[in-house]
A and B are shown apart, each in its own frame.
Chain A
Amino acid sequence: MAGRFVARVLPVLTVVLAILVIWYGAAIWMNAQWTRDQAARAGQEVTFIEILRDTMAQDRPVLPAPHQVAAELWNSTVVEELTSRRGIVQSGTLSNRSLIYHGWITLSATLLGFVIGSGLGIALAIGIVHNRAMDQSVMPWAIASQTIPILAIAPMIIVVLNSVGVTGLLPKAIISAYLSFFPVVVGMVKGLRAPDHMQLDLMKTYNASRAQVFAKLRLPSSMPYLFASLKVGIAASLVGAIVGELPTGAVAGLGARLLAGSYYGQTVQIWSALIGAAVLAGLMVGLIGLLQRRTLRRMGMAR
């Protein structure tokens, strides 16, 4: 038991350690120039030890050190909510300076966009598999839609929807959906076409209707493909939601934090928002993985 634990955890720890070592090395290397420039301006000499100490604690480092990002993450989540005047403990609502608040704003748009996107993706896939005209017409458009840079089309979506009075969560969710429907379409088309000729012939010998073939053969066959594409889709959704927050000058959301951070040169804030987004994506993909394992096990497809 202990052996298996070590075998599973050790590789992960090794990779994490390697990343930290590279990160610290890069932070020292990239931030040293600023320290030297400051010293030169003040007409002082700096020793290597002084450079080391300084690069670990700059206010606006080129690359913040891991512990700076960790401290910022801690302060902008737990400390902010528990002790700040605007925090949830004292005000009863999430603080607009906390990463939890901004993460939640982005998460809600992500989830709504993911539901719309994967719903659309599944619906399109069903159409493509069952209708010849859709098979030949939809896929090229779906592919074309993904060749347009999302950064170019996101402001258009926001502007157009704003002009018809749709604001708030929905425009961001639509950008999210725009990114996430594609992997779901591709995965589901593949999945719904997974049954081979023999299995389709067998259904024919039972005189099964199209709806029965779909419900009893195509849909269950597509489950492993569906979950794989949902994992890609939810990560794309998050990217879409963050990108959707950039062109609007939004005041809330992880995208807004990134934007504000870059306006004011707050690199530590940018990095903590990035890490926050990564953690969010990891959690969501993990959740779908859990759902996948439970579903496939119940279906008897996971051993």
Chain B
Amino acid sequence: MAAPVIEARGLGLTFQTNDGPVHALKDVNLTIDKGDFVSFIGPSGCGKTTFLRAVAALEHPTEGTLTVNGMTPDAARQARAYGYVFQAAGLYPWRTIAGNIKLPLEIMGFDRAEQAARVDRVLELVELKGFGNKFPWQLSGGMQQRASIARALAFDADILLMDEPFGALDEIVRDHLNEQLLDLWARTGKTIGFVTHSIPEAVYLSTRIVVMSPRPGRITDVIESPLPRERPLDIRDTPQFIEIAHRVREGLRAGHEHV
């Protein structure tokens, strides 16, 4: 079997605050394999975002080990192992959509022809072909978020880390983007780490669902989804889907009883 893409062993992360230490993560063990779509779900303060940020080397664990592609998170970042998508699209208003997608490419030193070719390719991937010359304010919120996904895809990282990317969007747009994201995942074979508040979103998208609970932030359940990889939107009405959603909800409730 291939080496895991992301591996956490006994991972702990404690923030020192004025009110004493806060255990954002405690004794987290998790293995994510290539091509997995892993969702992290749990209430605020359960450490799901902190875990993702630790993978991206935006936070640094205080205990245990964390490897990304067999490297430390810092080394993985230098090797451009991942693209990160935040809750807000965070496109630069002074750059066009194409200009925004070029941003990481410029920083990483791709030549101009390569930049243009990659912009075209990822714009097509997120179905924004023809919008390259528009400015962000000319696009809807959902389109902006798609552009930010394109930006994260542009430099060919194998891992896509997404921190509540659709959290600020309305339900209809969110459904559409979920469908598109699955399609994109199927076509690119990326490994995706996805933080969400929404049970249906987690169940619909993931091959594995990591249920977390707060104080201290920890994993309470890891659910392997039996759903097929090919998922039309109406799979959400099947008994299988509802059963998984139920188990996630149970896991979340159990997490709360410990508090």
Name A's B-contacting residues (CB within 8 A).
Answer: 198-199, 201-208, 212, 216-217, 220, 223, 299-301, 303
Contacts and interface: CB of A to CB of B under 8 A. Distances in A.
Interface centre among A202, A205, A216 (most CB of B within 10 A): A205
Interface stretch (B10-18, B81-89, B111-119, B124-132): B81-89
B42 to A, nearest CB: 21
Contacts of B104: 206
A205 B93 contact: no
B107 A212 contact: yes
A100 to B, nearest CB: 40
18 contacts: A199-B90, A201-B58, A201-B86, A202-B86, A202-B90, A203-B107, A204-B57, A206-B104, A206-B107, A206-B108, A207-B80, A207-B108, A216-B103, A217-B92, A223-B94, A300-B96, A300-B135, A303-B137
B135 A207 contact: no
B56 interface: yes
A30 to B, nearest CB: 53
A215 to B, nearest CB: 10
**Most chain A C-beta atoms within 10 Å of own C-beta, residue among B92, B103, B104:** B92
A205 B137 contact: no
A99 to B, nearest CB: 41
A38 B56 CA distance: 87
B197 interface: no
Contacts of B86: 198, 201-202
A205 B163 CA distance: 13
A209 to B, nearest CB: 8
Contacts of A205: 56, 58, 77, 82-84
Interface in B1-46: none
A204 B80 CA distance: 11
A202 B77 CA distance: 12
Contacts of A216: 103, 106-107
A53 B19 CA distance: 79
Contacts of A217: 92
B94 A300 contact: yes
Contacts of A208: 107
Contacts of B135: 300
A208 B77 CA distance: 11
Nearest to A203: B107
A301 B107 contact: no
B90 A198 contact: yes
B78 interface: yes
Interface of B: 56-58, 77-78, 80, 82-84, 86-88, 90, 92-96, 103-104, 106-108, 135, 137
A300 B93 contact: yes
A133 to B, nearest CB: 24
Given A202-B90, A205-B56, A300 B95 contact: yes
The DSSP consensus for interface residues of chain B is: loop
Given A207-B77, A220-B92, 17 more contacts: A198-B88, A201-B86, A202-B84, A202-B90, A203-B107, A204-B58, A205-B58, A205-B77, A205-B82, A206-B108, A207-B80, A216-B106, A220-B94, A223-B94, A299-B94, A300-B95, A301-B93
A107 B240 CA distance: 79
A110 B107 CA distance: 39
A218 B96 CA distance: 17
A42 B78 CA distance: 95
Nearest to B77: A207
Give 5 closest A-B pairs by Cβ, nearest first.
Answer: A299-B94, A300-B135, A205-B84, A206-B104, A206-B107
Nearest to B82: A205
Contacts of B88: 198
By CB atoms of chain B within 10 A, which of A198, A203, A220, A300 has the most? A300
A107 B95 CA distance: 36
A212 B105 CA distance: 12
Contacts of B103: 206, 216
Nearest to B152: A205
Nearest to B96: A300
Contacts of B80: 207
A300 B104 CA distance: 20
Nearest to A213: B107
Nearest to A208: B107
A207 B94 contact: no
A220 B93 CA distance: 10
Contacts of A199: 90
Contacts of A198: 86-88, 90
Nearest to A201: B58
A5 B93 CA distance: 31
B109 to A, nearest CB: 10
Contacts of B56: 205
Contacts of A203: 107
Contacts of A299: 94
A204 B104 CA distance: 10
B115 to A, nearest CB: 14
A300 B93 CA distance: 7
Contacts of B96: 300
